[in-house]
Structure 1
Amino acid sequence: MTDPQDASGSRARGRRMARAERRSQLLTIALDLFATEGFHHVSMDDIAERAQVSKPVLYRHFPSKLDLYLAVVDQQGADLLAAVERAVAPLEAGPVARGEGRTVVAAVVEAYLAFVQVAGESSTLLFESDVTRDTQVRGRVEHAAAEVTRRIAEVLSGVTGRGRADADVLAAALVATAQGAATYWLRHGGGQGIERVVELVTDLQWRGLAGLVRPDYPYGDA
C-alpha cells in the first residue's frame, strides 16, 4: 500500500496539468463537494486534498472558497442557458410550421430535465443554493435564472405579440414550472422516465401558451 506522504511528510501530489485543465478539474471537484456536503461544510483543504494539489496551487486559481463557489454557480448557469438557447433556436431560425411551438416548449422543459439528470444534486447550487443569504451568491444565482427567463421572454414576445412586461411574466412562469418539475423528478421521480415528465409538463404549458399565439403569426407552411 502506497504511503500518502513522502519522506518529508508532505502530501502526495497528483500529476501536473495545464492551467485550463487544472481549473476544470478543481471546478468539477468543488461542484461535487459543494453539492453533497454544502458550502459551509467544505473547506479549501478538502478540495485541495481531493485534487491532490497544494493549497497555494488552489489559491492561484481561486483566491477564496467563495470565489470558487461563485465560479461553480456561473458554470452551472452557463450550461443551463446553453441548453435553453438550443431549445429556442428553431423559433428564431425559422420558418416555423404550425405545431412546432409545442416542440419548442418541450425542448425547454427537456433542457431542465436533462440538466438535473446530468448535474444531479449539484443542480441545487443553481436552484436552491444554501448560501443565498450572501448577496454575491444570491446575485449570481438570480442572474442565471434571469438570463434564462430573459431569453425565453424575447421569443415569447415575438410569438404572442404581447409587450415585454407581459412576456417576462409568462417566461418566469414557464421557467418556474420547468424548474420545479425537474427538481421534483430528481428527488421523487419514482422511476418515471424523462420523456413522460416532459410530455406532461409540456401539455400543461402549451395548452395555455397556444391560446396566446398572435393570430397573424407568420408560419412557414402558411
Structure 2
Amino acid sequence: MTQSEGEPVDPPRSRRMPRAARREQVLAIAQDLFASEGFHHVSMDDIADRAEVSKPVLYRHFPSKLDLYLAVVDARGAGLLAAVEIALAPVAHGPVHSGEGRKVVRALVAAYFEFVEAAGESSSLLFESDVTHDDAVRARVEQAGAEAARGIARVLVEFTGLPSPQTTLLAAALVGMAQSGATSRLRTETGLTVDDAADLVARLAWGGVAGLVHPDPET
C-alpha cells in the first residue's frame, strides 16, 4: 500500500524506542557480543547491525566502543556487588554471633555461583577481560571484584582478629576460590546443581577460614 500525500509517515522502528529502553537494548546486545567474541573482535558496526540502529544513533548513546564496553562491565559489576552485599549483610555492621561465620562464607560463595549461573559467559567480562592493556581500564574492569574483596576483608577482621593486610590477602584468595569454582562449574559438565556446588566449595573455604578464627567470637 502506498503512502497518501500528506499522511504522516511512521518513524523507523529504531527511532520509536524510548532512549532508556534503547540504551538497555544496546547494552544487552553488546554484552552478548563482547562475552562471546571478545572486545577486540567486535566492532561498533556489529553492534549497530544487531541492534538495528544506525551508527550515529549508537554513538549518541556511547561515544566509543570502549565506553560501551565499560558500561557493560559496570552493569555486570553492580550485579555482582549487590549479591556480595546481601551475603555479607548479617555481619557487615556488627559483631560476629554464634553460627554466623559458616553461614556468611556459604552465602558469599553462593553469591558468586548464582551470579555466574545467571550471567553466563558475560561473567567473563569481570573475571577474564581481554581489555587489560591500560592501567585505568584494568582498574575499572576489576573494580567490582576489588570492592567485593574489601568488604570481605572487613568481615574477616571480625572472624579472625588478624590485621588488615592479612585479611586483605585472605579475602582475595576467598574471592578467587569462589570465582574460579563458579566459572569451572559453568563450563564443565559436573552434574552438580548451583546449591550443591556452592556447598562443596563453601566447605573447603570454611575449613580454611575456621582454622584462623580467633577464640573470642563463636562462629
**In the alignment, which residue of structure 1 is the partner of 2:206?**
206
Give the C-alpha shift of residue 74 in structure 1. Answer: 1.3
1:177 aligns with 2:177: yes
Matches within 5 A, 1:29-68: 29-68=29-68
2: CA distance between counterparts of 1:142 and 1:182?
17
Please tell me the residue identity of whatever aligns with 1:117.
Answer: E
TM-score where L is the length of structure 1? 0.87
Q: Per the alignment, do residues 218 and 199 of structure 1 end up closer, same or farther by CA in structure 2, a change over 3 Å counting?
A: closer
**In the alignment, which residue of structure 2 is the partner of 1:6?**
none
Question: Any idea what SS the aligned residue of 1:213 has?
Answer: coil
1: CA distance between counterparts of 2:147 and 2:97?
27
1:100 aligns with 2:106: no
Please tell me the residue identity of whatever aligns with 2:18.
Answer: A
Q: Per the alignment, do residues 72 and 14 of structure 1 end up closer, same or farther by CA in structure 2, a change over 3 Å counting?
A: same
**In the alignment, which residue of structure 2 is the partner of 1:217?**
217
Give the C-alpha shift of residue 93 in structure 1. Answer: 5.3
- Of the structure 1 ranges 89-98 and 124-133, higher mean CA displacement relative to structure 2 is found in 89-98
Per-residue CA deviation, residues 4-35 of structure 1 (Å, 9 max, x unaligned), is xxxxxxxx633623322221111111001111
Runs of 4 or more consecutive aligned structure 1 residues displaced over 4 Å after TM superposition:
93-97
Is 1:13–1:54's contact at 8 Å kept on the other side of the alignment? no
Corresponding residue pairs, total: 208
**In the alignment, which residue of structure 1 is the partner of 2:71?**
71
Give the C-alpha shift of residue 168 in structure 1. Answer: 0.2
Structure 1 unmatched ranges of 5 or more: 1-11
2: CA distance between counterparts of 1:189 and 1:169?
31
Please tell me the residue identity of whatever aligns with 1:49.
Answer: D
1:145 aligns with 2:128: no
Please tell me the residue identity of whatever aligns with 1:114.
Answer: E
1: CA distance between counterparts of 2:194 and 2:53?
38
1: CA distance between counterparts of 2:136 and 2:33?
20
2: CA distance between counterparts of 1:142 and 1:15?
35
Is 1:32–1:122's contact at 8 Å kept on the other side of the alignment? yes
Q: Per the alignment, do residues 210 and 218 of structure 1 end up closer, same or farther by CA in structure 2, a change over 3 Å counting?
A: closer
2: CA distance between counterparts of 1:127 and 1:89?
24
Give the C-alpha shift of residue 99 in structure 1. Answer: 2.1
1: CA distance between counterparts of 2:207 and 2:76?
30
Is 2:132–2:138's contact at 8 Å kept on the other side of the alignment? yes
Give the RMSD, CA atoms, in angstroms.
Answer: 1.8
Q: Percent identity?
A: 63
2: CA distance between counterparts of 1:181 and 1:144?
18
2: CA distance between counterparts of 1:211 and 1:218?
13
Question: Any idea what SS the aligned residue of 1:14 has?
Answer: helix
**In the alignment, which residue of structure 2 is the partner of 1:160?**
160
Matches within 5 A, 1:21-32: 21-32=21-32
2: CA distance between counterparts of 1:174 and 1:126?
16
1: CA distance between counterparts of 2:135 and 2:47?
24
